[in-house]
Structures are given as structure tokens and as C-alpha cells.
Amino acid sequence: MTHVPFTILTGWLGAGKTTALNRMLAANHGRRIAVLVNELGRISIDTQLILGRGGDVLELAGGCVCCKVDVKNDLWDGIADIVARSSPDSVVLETTGIAEPAAILDGLVRVPDAVRDRILPAGVVCVIDAEASAAAVVSRDEARAQAASADRVLLAKLDVASPAAVRAAHAVLDEVAPEAERAAFPAGDAGSRAMTTWVIEPRPLRAWHERRRAHSDHDHGHGRTDSGHGHHHPGQLIAVTFTDDAPLVGERVLACVEALGDRLVRAKGFVHLAGDDRRGFVERAGIRTELRDGGEWGPGPRRTELVLIGDDLDEAAIHRALWACRASG
């Protein structure tokens, strides 16, 4: 029985994981890539952003796969299902932006033999936002753990990052992930094909015990539990979701998102725009916040679906502010 390479694609909130996946799925490389997407919020924005491309996509909902035990079980079941149903050449797991890959790798030893016999761990690829990740890796334990556990680092957003930001990103990686190979791939199909090969090809993994040691050091005092409370630093990251069928004034939605300032780490989602037949997409990623065209609406109802992740976000206040953006359509 052949072993299907299994890559963990990680990276801080908004680093560019979904963008990288979409490049891989759209590229003309002739490989069948199955994707498992784990989302933090109750709404599956990433899955919608990936669906419609090539490849088989399975969503892992209900919490972060690194620290919620039932989601972890779903992961192994999901891999077994997706390998059985689409015989992929490779399986890629896109983690949540706060997941710690070492905790997922630790779980491999408890995987049923029937699953472990089908997959070959191909490594941890960490997406690093050249504009914003240096600050995140310095200030956020989870971002640091992701970089530290990486076999390979994919640098994203180099085309928009300042030289100072790129230097800072490399300097942080020199310290946190000196052994991980760093790479970037220019836009275009050739670059995307090369990226795909680099991400999915199994290679000898970094020393397992080193990564485990980094992980357990990091974990001290971290309060990780398997009861579903992972990442529960007091006063830390909160995921707020907002759904609304009413049409909203786009620039006011953007203003609400911008008003959250630095407390907001990540925002993404579709917007039912008043007076517009196309859907909007609002996003905060790294240092950028924008509202852009989100393509045609699908067959379902037109509905705003947003996920906002940040420090001490006030869900009720965010809902009130967004409801104030409603218009008649």
C-alpha cells in the first residue's frame, strides 16, 4: 500500500496560508491534492475561498485541531476518508492561525494504524508574512511555536514588504527557525508549480526530539487542556462571528473593521453589499485592511458572514456597530 505524503501548512492569522493553497490547487502540475481546512470561527470562510478550485476539500470545524481532542480525532478520520474517496497524491492540512503544529505531530503516535499506514508525514511548512510576521513571532507564543516547529518556511508578501520588514522577518527566523529552509515563489504558473512540489514532497523531517523539546518548553504554564479550552490566555484572542442577511454599506463595514485598530489581528468574510449585485470581501491580514470584490454570489441566500479575531474583542459592540451599516439595499 502506498503512503500518501501529509503536509501541515501552518502560519499566523492572516499570514497567507489560504492564498498559498489556492496557488497550489490552481497550478498546472497534474497532482491530485486533497486539502483539510481547520477553521477557528463557526463560519467557514476559508473553505468558501478554496471551494471551486481543483482538488478535494474537507472542512474540520468546531475548534482548533491542535488542542481540541474531538477535532483531532476528526483530523485522522478526515484523512482516512479523503484518502479513500479521492486517492490523492498528497494531503495538506491548513491549520488555524493559532495552532501549534508540534501538538498535531504528537498526535500522530496515537493515530490508528489503518490511518498511519496510509500517510507519510511530509513536514511542517510555516507561512511567514514578510510584512507582519516578525512582530507576531516576537509577541505571540503561538506564532513563535509555529515558526520553531517548521521544516520549511514559505515567505509571503515579499512583493509588498519594505526592505526593513524583510530584514526583520529574516532576523527573527535566524533566531527562531535557523534550520528551516526558507523559500519564496514568484507569481505565475511556473512559480506555483515549484511551490507545490516544495510543499508536498516528503523529505527527511527535522529532528523529532528537537521539535518536541521546543514544543514542551513553550507549553510550560500555557494551560493547554484537551477539554476544548486551548489558547485560553486570559484576555487574549477571541473569535467573533457576525452574520446578517440585510444589505450593508461597504465602506462603513470597512470603517468598523478599521476602528478596531491593533486589537484586531485578523478579519475575513463576505459582505452583502447594498446596491451591488456582486459580493464584497473584507479582510484584515497582517498590516493591511481592505474591502474588495468577492466575486459572484452562489445559489444560496445573500448574507454577510464575517469572522474577526483579536484581543479582548467586544462581540456585542461589534455586532451593534455592524448593524448600524445596514441599508435598504
User: Given the rule CB under 5 A, which residues bind Zn ion?
Assistant: 64, 66-67, 99, 230
Q: How far apart are the first and last CA of the chain?
A: 56
CB of 139 to Zn ion, least distance (A): 18
Between 87 and 216, CB nearer to Zn ion: 216
**Residue in the shown chain whose Cβ atom is closest to Zn ion:** 64
Between 35 and 67, CB nearer to Zn ion: 67
Q: Provide the 8-state DSSP code for 228.
A: S
Q: Provide the 8-state DSSP code for 326.
A: B
Between 145 and 253, CB nearer to Zn ion: 145
CB of 126 to Zn ion, least distance (A): 15
CB of 159 to Zn ion, least distance (A): 30
Between 49 and 67, CB nearer to Zn ion: 67
Buried b (16+ CB within 10 A) or exposed e, 205-233: ebeeeebeebbeebeeebebeeeeebbee
CB of 108 to Zn ion, least distance (A): 16
CB of 104 to Zn ion, least distance (A): 9
Q: Do 128 and 15 contact (CB within 8 A), yes or no? A: yes
- Three-state DSSP state, 132: coil
Q: Do 119 and 4 contact (CB within 8 A), yes or no? A: yes
Q: Please work out, in degrees rounded to the nearest 5, the angle formed at the alpha carbon of residue 235 by the alpha carbons of 234 and 239.
A: 110
Name the burial class of residue 252, with classes exposed (0-12), middle (13-18) and buried (19+) by CB atoms within 10 angstroms of its CB: middle
Beta bridge partners of 102: none
Between 133 and 146, CB nearer to Zn ion: 146
Pairing of strands 90-94, 304-311: unpaired
CB of 98 to Zn ion, least distance (A): 6
Between 162 and 227, CB nearer to Zn ion: 227
Kindly list the distances between the CA atom of residue 170 and the CA atoms of 128, 137, 147, 153, in Å, as whole numbers in the listed order. 10, 11, 12, 10
